[in-house]
Structure 1
Amino acid sequence: MPDAASRLTGLAEQLLGAPLPMRIRAWDGSVAGPPDAPALVVRDRRALRRLLFKPGELGLARAWVAGELDVDGDLYTALDLLTGLVWERGEDARTLAQALREPEFRAAVRGLVRLAGPPLPPAPPREEARRPRRRLHTRHSDRRAISHHYDVGNDFYEIVLGPSMVYSCAYWPAPDSTLEEAQRDKLELVCRKLGLSPGQRLLDVGCGWGSMAVHAAREHGVDVVGITLSQEQAAYARKRVADEGLTDRVEIRVQDYRDVRDGPYDAISSIGMAEHVGADRYLDYARDLHLLLRPGGRLLNHQIARRPQRDESAYDVNAFIDAYVFPDGELQPVGTTVTLLERAGFEVRDVESIREHYALTLRRWVANLEAGWGRAAQLAGPGRARVWRLYMAASALAFERNRIGVNQVLAVKTPESGTSGMPLRSRTWNRRP
């Protein structure tokens, strides 16, 4: 009888219809595959049961989070190989149905069932979001989704994000700059695009741990209202504001953007928040922000974007991200975002893609997490720490391969007179302070 690793390798090659470029290390200690390649470590045969029940991404993710799958070797290389083998080979229901009609494929599945053993399937790891059927993006559902992702623990995020505590794409002056330098440059870039000056009012939508609010108040003399749905973020941000001596300039609220009624504001920053809004609500979101601005006021919308699909009706959310990372999060092409902002009444004045900057940022976050792994796993639990390591490393590759991007869209509430208040040569803001 062949050992488990040899059987798994053979079955995987039958199922995929291609040679396996990775090693397999199985629960019985056996190893098979190219000796110099990274190894996919199958610590428990329960991982196979998960894959049989949920073929493709979600099954792999559940096994990873549960600690039944791991990687021995470079994580990025392994994820690149897995992407080519699984994610890019087509795993929708039609493809699977066609494959099941092939005798060789059915035989390989039967072999995998025998190797996996009973019972089938295991319960999902507890880190998976539990959500009843309901309408998406209500105030209640958004609070739950935000809490799932952000109320993991501020100490955990300090390990991952470092002293800047900024959880969005940094703006790198050079690849070897520090993360703190790059995040400061990003906050300063946003402030310059918004044209902030002393005495103005800034609304920071999705203020996180208060980094933008503190920077804008301290460096540009503006009065800031920062809003978040996370109780833990708000508590942390309020302490930072107090420590900086800015309580007379910065107010942090636990508040939904739909409930803000104290406009007008001179400027609005929305950095890494709009991904949570949802496609069906995005136009309402844009209209809400438009109403909160004074005529001539500016919006800086910093948002991740996906690539357009040939058939947009067939687009579906990423199963792993939706289940473990950002429940109910939705990405739209940048063209859709620009169109909806314009429909809401904004004049879009500048769109800047900073895709490569996010890849650099994510790799630094992964390095921070790996360097503080023991403490991070103690704080958030091993499963949650594994979620963050997988999603950040996979996202770094996605940005590098142009599967997703990130853009800063600067829009103005241009009055009927047509006087936007924008300088004739606006991109002077890209100069480092």
Structure 2
Amino acid sequence: MDVRSPAPTAAERLLSAFEGAMGIPIPVHVRCWDGSEAGPDSDVTTVFRNRRAIRRVLWSPNELGLVRAYVSGDLEIEGDVFRLLTLPDLVDRLGSLGVRGSDRGTILKSLSTFVRLGGLGLRPAPTSVEVARRRGPKHSKARDASSVSHHYDVGNDFYRLFLGPTMVYSCGYWDQRSGDPGAIGTLNHAIASVRSLTGTGNSSGLIENYIFPDGEVLPLSRTIDAFQRAGLEVRDVEALREHYVLTLRAWVGRLRDSWDDAIRLAGAERTRTWLLYLAASALGFEEKGRLTIHQVLAVRPSDDGSSGLPRTRSLWLG
């Protein structure tokens, strides 16, 4: 009697094709549009709601393709988004068009599977919240004004969902002993100071196309140099990288807890964008040498050289 094995499901074929193309095992649980599932049990499931999600990835075979699929709603993330973003090698390979780990034959086989699953077709239309092609010189007043508006003009009610009643859109100062989330937005610590976001390189496709177009991270030295050229005296520099990790993770939690309200206020696409942005930023600050943030306190001394500040940091902070 000829007993044949059942044909692979859509989810099994899709997961196998991604693993073949990227040259690494992908420990992700996948569910497809037909209800089929594949992959190990996990606290996060990647859901391909339709075949268009594959086309979005194939037309932009990097992290931007996955972002477009997620923001559009063609792909969903059920469970812990941090778990998905911290899978070893996965995001790094996607971000660098990472199909170098497989031989040509394996890659062609994966592409054939993608096509049979419905990945062949016209480029899907961009999402409504993706930044259109920008005009004018970079960092001109008009172009910067448009970029800033895109980032901030989401509505105070939306921001309040994750920033809380203080509406402080800045790094919190967390108590080492209690880890008190009430420390988010400690105002006294931010008075008369500037928080400088620094890091290596420019913003990624997670950010450039959806959150902060033309955004850049600058070395701390650039900020201090600007203060000094303006005649200010730098009195204190404090690194707050670990504090921002806790702040961003708290914001992610608040946004997820207010998910339905966020969609009502800003729309599903923009809400998904912000969740991904906050989560990816938290991981960026956790990673060594990628992103950091410093609080810089500077004053303009009086004519007699007096700074007008107490002599010690403990008195500054109250």
1:323-338 aligned within 5 A? 323-338=209-224
CA–CA distance in structure 2, aligned partners of residues 122 and 143 of structure 1: 29
In the alignment, the residues of structure 2 paired with residue 48 and residue 420 of structure 1 have an alpha-carbon distance, to the nearest angstrom, of 64
Q: 1:48·1:112 contact (CA, 8 Å) conserved in 2? A: yes
- RCO greater where, 1 or 2, for CA within 8 Å and sep 6 or more? 2
Q: How does 1:192-231 map to 2 (within 5 A)?
A: 194=192
Q: Does 1:406 align with 2:271?
A: no
Judging changes above 3 Å, is the alpha-carbon distance between structure 1 residues 116 and 412 closer, same or farther for their aligned structure 2 residues? farther
Please tell me whether the aligned partners of residues 68 and 126 of structure 2 are also in contact (alpha carbons under 8 angstroms). Answer: yes
Kindly provide the amino acid, as one letter, of the partner of residue 195 in structure 2: H
Q: Which residue of 1 aligns with 2:165?
A: 163
Instruction: Give the Å deviation of 1:110.
Output: 3.2
User: How many angstroms does 1:48 deviate by?
Assistant: 1.1
CA distance in 2, matches of 1:101, 1:343: 54
Q: CA deviation at 1:167?
A: 0.9
Structure 2 spans left out of the alignment, 5+ residues: 1-6
Which among 197, 220, 226 is matched to residue 304 of structure 1? 197
Distance 2:241 2:19 in 1: 34
- 1:151 alignment counterpart: 153
Name the amino acid aligned to 1:41. V
Find 2:34's aligned residue among 23, 28, 34. Answer: 28
List per-residue Cα deviations over 1:103-159 (Å, max 9, x = no partner): 322332333233233423101110111133321222222221122121112211121
Whether the 8 Å contact between 2:48 and 2:76 is mirrored in structure 1 is yes
Quote the offset at 1:182 in angstroms. 3.2
In 2, the alpha carbon distance for the partners of 1:392 and 1:125 equals 19
Do 1:16 and 1:85's aligned partners in 2 also have CA atoms closer than 8 Å? no
- 1:382 counterpart residue number: 268
What are the residue-to-residue correspondences of 1:201-350 with 2, within 5 Å? 300-307=193-200, 315-350=201-236
Question: In the aligned structure 2, how far is the partner of 1:17 from the partner of 1:429?
Answer: 56
**Correspondence for 1:188:** 188
Closer/same/farther in 2, CA of residues 109 and 420 from structure 1, 3 Å limit: farther
Deviations along 1:59-97, one digit per CA (max 9) or x if unpaired, are 11111111111222222112211xx3333237446x66x
Counterpart amino acid of residue 170 in structure 1: G
Q: Which residue of 2 aligns with 1:365?
A: 251
Paired residue secondary structure (1:114)? helix
2:91 matched to 1:87? yes
Contact kept? 1:304, 1:331, Cα under 8 Å: yes
**Matches of 1:106 and 1:100 in 2, distance apart?**
10
Alpha carbons of structure 1 residues 154 and 91: separation in structure 2 relative to 1, 3 Å: closer
| CA distance in 2: counterparts of 1:90 and 1:363, whole angstroms | 23
What is the number of equivalent residue pairs in this alignment? 310
SS at match of 2:33: coil
Gaps of 5+ in 1: 195-299, 308-314
Report the Cα offset of residue 334 of structure 1: 2.0
Structure 1 pair 85/70, CA: closer, same or farther in 2 (3 Å)?
A: farther
How well do the aligned residues superpose, as a CA RMSD in angstroms? 2.5
Partner of 1:63: 69
- The TM-score normalised by the length of structure 1 is 0.66
CA distance in 1, matches of 2:295, 2:90: 32
| Equivalent residue, structure 2, for 1:77 | 83
Maintained 8 Å contact 2:44/2:83: yes
Partners of 2:184 and 2:42 lie apart in 1 by 35
For residue 88 of structure 1, give the secondary structure of its aligned residue in structure 2: helix
**Cα 1:429–1:89 shift into 2, 3 Å:** farther
Listed one character per residue, the Cα deviations across residues 387-429 of structure 1 (whole Å, up to 9, x for unaligned) are: 1111111212222224311111123345787x25265843224
2:4 aligned partner = none
Deviations 1:330-349 (A, max 9, x none): 11122343344445544333
> In the alignment, which residue of structure 2 is the partner of 1:275?
none
Contact 1:358 1:399 in 2 (8 A): yes
Structure 1 residues 141 and 59: alpha-carbon distance in aligned structure 2, compared to 1, 3 A threshold: same
Q: Residues of 1 paired with 2:137 and 2:25: CA distance?
A: 44
Which residue does the alignment assign to 2:180? 177
Structure 1 residues 32 and 341: CA distance shift in structure 2, 3 A: same
Deviation of 1:302 (Å): 0.7
Q: What is the alpha-carbon distance in structure 1 between the residues aligned to residue 222 and residue 284 of structure 2?
A: 20
1:158 aligns to what SS in structure 2?
A: helix
Q: Helix, strand or coil: the match of 1:405?
A: strand
Rounded Cα–Cα distance in structure 1 between residues aligned with 2:24 and 2:203: 27
Counterpart amino acid of residue 162 in structure 2: V
Distance in 1, matches of 2:257 and 2:315, equals 35
Aligned-partner Cα distance in 1 for 2:59–2:21:
15
Report if the CA contact (8 A) 1:173-1:182 is conserved. Answer: no
The reply on whether 1:15 has 2:21 as its aligned counterpart is yes
Which residue of structure 1 aligns with residue 132 of structure 2? 130
Name the aligned partner's letter for residue 14 of structure 2: L
TM value normalised by structure 2: 0.87
Letter in 2 for 1:411: A
Secondary structure, counterpart of 1:324 in structure 2: coil
| Cross-structure match for 2:57 | 51
